[in-house]
With several copies, the nearest count.
Chain A
Amino acid sequence: MDGDGGSPLIWINGWFFKMIDKQVDSPAKAVADIFDGATVMIGGFGEAGSPIELIHALIDQGAQNLTVVNNNTGSGHVGLAALIENGRVAKMICSYPRTVGSKVFPELYRSGKIDLELVPQGTLAERIRAGGAGVPAFYTATSVGTPLAEGKEQRHFAGRDYVMEYGLKADFALIKSKQADRYGNLIYNKTARNFAPIMAMAAETTIVQAERMVTAGEIDPEIVVTPGIFVDRIVTVANPEQESKLVAEGRFYP
């Protein structure tokens, strides 16, 4: 396993066989089949954990009319904000589409050019986990008695009111990790973990940008955060761009 995208081979009885290897060569190849109208979960809480190279590859790729699930709506004119600014996102599902330095979403929203499904942050997280765990719906006390509960089914359990919320799945998830192995076992960096592990569970195809590839077994089985079963493709991005730096520099993508 050389860590640069080569396919590991195993020698058995005089033959070489290809082993499981989820690495792909480039962000462009990793996102090539994201289709118009797809639902795409994108990891990150603000810039922490935002897979900026995968988002930029998705902008280059050109898919339209996307439904994007992310806690926020990006900032400046790079990453998620650039995806929105380039007119690729028909709908955002998020908890907090208002950030310092975030102008792109508010303008499109006010002019009616983008839809918004506003979801409390914990309900969003729980809906994503439920989607990944085969739970089609569950009940929560969050939002009861507020405008966000309007139109939702309510029910009483043991002396308290709850609303019913649906599990949320996606066609693709784009996430960022610190290390990955060929099976897709992942570990993350500090609070960049945030939504990535549950989005990996909830997406049909999970695409990871990892800062470093390691040999299978190098990540102790006790500390794996995302087991490889939830991962489909890994691309190494050794030195990812830092969103806040690009924003400070006034950069636009593309």
Chain B
Amino acid sequence: MTADIIGWNRDEMAKRAALDIPDGSYVNLGIGIPEKVAQHVPEGREVIYHTENGLLGMGPVPASGGEDPELINAGKKAVTTIPGAAFFHHADSFAMIRGQHIDVCVLGAMQISEQGDLANWSTGEPDAIPAVGGAMDLVAGVKTIYVITQHCTTDGGPKLVESCTYPLTGKNVVDRIYTDLAVLDVTPAGFKVLELAPGVSFDYVQQRTAGKLLPAKG
């Protein structure tokens, strides 16, 4: 049994996260797997997407050839607008984030600590080019922070840790984590397993986590 055939794939992780986004939410999606969440919001829910470069009411990726270099998202990819969208400048856009008007943000992660600390912007290596973008604003300002990430690093090391070794994006900010192996809440007592991927056991997840796991029901 190898890590790549057990657990949820990227789309399944995004789909699982999408289930937890309430109808009518204002949502900001990070770059990478989080972007896929938009494709999996359950039918019947209407969710409004915010992109921090100045657009509320972001629509799907345009058809090939319909790209406009002046209509992009925070990942600098071409997007579209829904009817009822609005453009605004950067200070107004971040007022939405920092003033706690965005309901849910879904981000990627390098490490998440038991206390909900998030590291997702820098390895802290001396020759790394530090680049933070809007990540620190999002975790400080958005009401609910979800993280979608592989449970382990490509080396098989843990990403869910007792305390982060990488430079932090924010302290005590993560609410819930969606990995390929499980859905976990950050609680005062530690990571609490809400749900396991098909065929994945609690012990299997615990072995790959550098912090104490709590079962969903004691």
| CB closest chain-B residue, reference A133 | B95
Q: Mark B38-70, 1 if CB is under 8 A from A, else 0.
A: 000001111010111111110000000000111
Say whether B129 faces chain A, with CB atoms less than 8 Å apart.
yes
CA of A126 to CA of B102, assembled, Å? 17
CA of A49 to CA of B97, assembled, Å? 22
B83 touches A229 (CB 8 A): no
Q: Which of B52, B81, B134, B167 has the most CB of A within 10 A?
A: B134
Say whether A216 faces chain B, with CB atoms less than 8 Å apart.
yes
Complex partner residue of B24 from A20, A105, A147, CB under 8 angstroms: A20
| CB closest chain-A residue, reference B47 | A20
| CB closest chain-A residue, reference B56 | A227
Complex partner residue of B53 from A194, A216, A219, CB under 8 angstroms: A194
Give the contact stretch, choosing among A58-66, A79-87, A96-104: A96-104
| CB closest chain-B residue, reference A116 | B130
A95 touches B70 (CB 8 A): no
CA of A142 to CA of B191, assembled, Å? 25
| CB closest chain-B residue, reference A178 | B70
B69 touches A19 (CB 8 A): no
Complex partner residue of A191 from B71, B167, B168, CB under 8 angstroms: B71
Which residues on A sit within 8 Å (CB–CB) of B68? 190
CA of A129 to CA of B92, assembled, Å? 10
Give the contact stretch, choosing among A30-38, A151-159, A181-189: A181-189
Say whether A137 faces chain B, with CB atoms less than 8 Å apart.
no
Known contacts A48-B72, A110-B127, A244-B69; decide if A120 and B137 are in contact (CB<8 Å).
Answer: yes
Give A21 Cβ to nearest chain B Cβ, in Å: 9
Q: Mark B8-23, 1 if CB is under 8 A from A, else 0.
A: 0000000000000001
Q: Which residues of chain A in 47-87 are interfacial with respect to chain B, using CB atoms and an 8 Å cutoff? A: 47-49, 71
- Contact size class for A? 35 or more
B95 touches A132 (CB 8 A): yes
Which residues on A sit within 8 Å (CB–CB) of B132? 95-96, 118-121, 148
Number of A-B contacts (CB under 8 A): 223
CA of A96 to CA of B50, assembled, Å? 19
| CB closest chain-A residue, reference B45 | A17
CA of A49 to CA of B127, assembled, Å? 30
Which residues on B sit within 8 Å (CB–CB) of A97? 129-131
A20 touches B46 (CB 8 A): yes
A121 touches B69 (CB 8 A): no
B44 touches A142 (CB 8 A): no
Say whether A144 faces chain B, with CB atoms less than 8 Å apart.
yes
A134 touches B99 (CB 8 A): yes
Q: Which residues of chain A in 198-254 are interfacial with respect to chain B, using CB atoms and an 8 Å cutoff? A: 198, 201, 215-217, 219, 221-222, 224-225, 227-230, 242-244
A125 touches B91 (CB 8 A): yes
Say whether A93 faces chain B, with CB atoms less than 8 Å apart.
no
B26 touches A15 (CB 8 A): no
Say whether B141 faces chain A, with CB atoms less than 8 Å apart.
yes
Q: Can you sample 20 A-B contacts with CB below 8 Å? A: A17-B46, A45-B72, A97-B130, A97-B131, A120-B136, A121-B132, A122-B134, A122-B141, A126-B91, A128-B90, A132-B99, A141-B141, A183-B57, A188-B87, A191-B51, A193-B54, A195-B89, A217-B83, A224-B86, A227-B88
Query: 20 more A-B contacts (CB under 8 A) besides A45-B72, A146-B167?
Result: A12-B44, A48-B53, A97-B130, A98-B129, A105-B129, A121-B132, A140-B140, A142-B137, A144-B140, A147-B124, A181-B84, A191-B72, A193-B54, A193-B87, A216-B84, A217-B82, A221-B55, A227-B88, A227-B92, A229-B50
Interface residues of A (CB under 8 A from B): 10, 12-13, 15, 17, 19-20, 45-49, 71, 95-99, 105-106, 109-110, 116, 118-126, 128-129, 131-135, 140-148, 181-183, 185, 188-198, 201, 215-217, 219, 221-222, 224-225, 227-230, 242-244
Interface residues of B (CB under 8 A from A): 23-24, 26, 43-46, 48, 50-57, 68-72, 76, 81-102, 117, 122, 124, 127, 129-137, 140-141, 167-172
